[in-house]
Amino acid sequence: MRQLRHRRLTAVLAVATLLLTAAPSTAASAAARPDRQPGYHRVGYFTQWGIYGRAFTIKKLDASGAASRLTHLNYAFGNVSEDGRCYVDGGPGEGDAWADYQRPVSADESVDGVADAPGQALNGNFGQLAKLKAKHPGLKVLISLGGWSWSTYFSNAARTDASRKAFVASCIDLYLKGNLPGAPGAAAGVFDGVDLDWEWPNWDGEPGNVIRPQDRENFTKLLAEFRRQLDAYGRTTRAHHPLTAFLPANPATMDAGYEGRKIFKYLDFATVQGYDFHGGWEAVANQQSALRVPAGSPDNPDFSVEVAIDGWIDRGAPRGKLVLGIPYYGRGWTGVTGGGTGLFQPATGPAPATFEAGYEDYKNLKTLAGNGYTVHRDLRAGHAWLFDGTTFWTYDDPAVVLQKTLYIRRAGLAGAMVWSLDGDDDNATLTRTIDLGLTTR
């Protein structure tokens, strides 16, 4: 019976993958397709910096068909100042106001085909987000605050009742009310809500982050203040303004930084890290996003999607507010020895890649299959990898993504989140796979 179920799953995944990759979409067909109605959440992160090296513009979300298959778009990232305020800055490492709202967008890169006019109040990504929302009125756009690099001063912002009130007010003023520096109200209506990406309360993140033991309870209080002020603002706009948060996969981090059940009182939903379980910072080639801990794993305990989701459920999280994070990139190692499929074998370091050693977009990894690399799968554990005898890449292809959507449905979760949309190919293959797996038929 187990072998029969295994064969059926293999067949379903194979057929679905063939359907998703056989026929590329056109901009016309993508634009004509009606937006999905909210059911399962489909959340995608758009990276501010993706417009540069990856040349991934907001227009591509529309042309590829991705936008019509998302319910929420998280813009990464907004920064937090040392004195606990939301702010934008063009200073190196502090922000990119040019990309956010100053860059004049050409007609070729514009969602509606109209170039930004000289001197208009809103340009750049924010202006294009406004056009994308006009075309896809069901899409909710959230400003995601923090991230790995900009969580440095979250603890300062959350420290006291006064600091929390001031921080939340500054974020609503800047992003929801759209009061950009020198252009009051210019970005009003671009953002519908806030995503908190504090990495991590009372736990090590990027070196230099401010960390306090009180972060755990202060995170809950910060959520409560966001909910209070967002609801008050919503009474003036006659709209609900969503509040979400990105949560870790590590059970130890969960315990150190979060009050389990309490935080979900204030959140519309939370996205759970489903990736970065292992990477080139380690000396053994491994999985970075497996659904379950693979047999033979050298680490005990180990990380997996199931470990992360079960960890939050065990701590009181409602299933219906958990959204599973799925990576649109892979982690890689080179100098892999020991033979076999490369899995769990020693490596000399991170694999060479386009932008960052050990990190490569799905759209580039998919071209390796058959070009010197063999695709390997563990259907029980729910992960795949590429190996050429020396270099190893662990990644999510359409078959793995579809398997994860089946898990989301079976586990009663709220949907899927992706980091990040610029890793997908021009046909939005992975986003289409999520849509296929989560659409009720």
DSSP 3-state helix, strand, coil percentages of the chain (rounded to 5)? 35, 20, 45
Tell which residue, 192, 182, 157, 185, has the closest CA to residue 79.
Answer: 157
What string of DSSP letters covers 373-385? BEEEEETTTTEEE
In degrees and rounded to multiples of 5, residue 428 shows phi and psi of 55, 45
Q: 63-85 burial by CB neighbour count: b if 16+ within 10 A, else e? A: bbbbbbbbbbbbbbbbbbbeebb
Give 61's DSSP letter.
H
Helix (H), strand (E) at residue 28: helix 27-32
**Cβ atoms of 101 and 123 closer than 8 Å:** yes
Residue entry with tokens 């080139």: 280
Catalytic residue (one of 199, 225, 259, 360): 199
What's the CA gap between 198 and 221, in Å, rounded? Answer: 14
Residue entry with tokens 């939050």: 312
The encoded tokens of residue 334 equal 């080179």
The stretches of 158-246 forming alpha helices (DSSP H) are 161-171, 215-237
What's the CA gap between 439 and 434, in Å, rounded? Answer: 8
Q: Which residues contact 83 (CB under 8 A, 6 or more apart)?
A: 153, 156
What's the CA gap between 220 and 197, in Å, rounded? Answer: 14
The encoded tokens of residue 89 equal 């800055």
259 is catalytic: no
Q: Quick one: angle between helices 305-314 and 398-411, nearest 10?
A: 20
In degrees and rounded to multiples of 5, residue 363 shows phi and psi of -60, -25
Residue entry with tokens 């990232």: 77
Q: Which residues contact 146 (CB under 8 A, 6 or more apart)?
A: 77, 78, 80, 154, 196, 197, 198, 199
The encoded tokens of residue 251 equal 């059970």
Q: Which residues contact 23 (CB under 8 A, 6 or more apart)?
A: none
Catalytic sites, residue numbers: 199
